[in-house]
Amino acid sequence: MPSRHQQRAVVLLVEDNPDDVVIIREALEQSLTPIQLYVVSNGEQAMKFVRRTDAEALRPSLILLDLALPIRHGLEVLAELKGDPEFGSIPIAVLTQSQDPHDVERCYALHVNAYIGKPPDFDGYVKVIQQLTTWFLGLISLPPAR
């Protein structure tokens, strides 16, 4: 059976910490799944990207979303995307420092696909990213983009 993604999967990373961006980018480069990575640093840019207000933007195959974002909080982005039938099927994995049980509950109430605490080191990031890309970009089937 052919792979679901013969070409590069589009991953949108929504992260305002430049150090985390570097680590996640490097971890994605070690992934077995070919990925085209886009990075935005706040919630407003994330919404513009997904809504394709920039003609160059592609529909993400996976969104990695931090919660503590400037301009628009990650919970707002999550609520808007999962509440819109056009974008609700895009897998969103929250990747955050927050271990607050209320944040976990709110994210799952908003239909997040995964809530993951940021690992303490690079090897942890590599492991998490490999598992995420294998699961969301290789193993599971998603409905086609509208």
pLDDT in the model for residue 34: 85
Residue 146 lies inside a defined structural domain of this protein: no
Residue 140 lies inside a defined structural domain of this protein: no
Residue 2 lies inside a defined structural domain of this protein: no
Query: By residue range, what is the domain housing residue 30?
Result: 9-135
Residue 144 lies inside a defined structural domain of this protein: no
Cα–Cα dist 99/83, whole Å: 24
Q: What is the pTM of this model?
A: 0.89
Cα–Cα dist 95/14, whole Å: 9
pLDDT tier, 57 (very low <50, low <70, confident <90, very high otherwise): low
State pLDDT tens for residues 83-136.
999 999 999 999 999 889 999 999 999 999 999 999 999 999 999 998 998 888
Say how many domains are in the chain. Answer: 1
> Which candidate, 40, 82, 59, places its Cα nearest to that of 144?
59
- Indicate which CATH number applies to the domain containing 98: 3.40.50.2300
pLDDT tier, 2 (very low <50, low <70, confident <90, very high otherwise): very low
pLDDT in the model for residue 1: 33
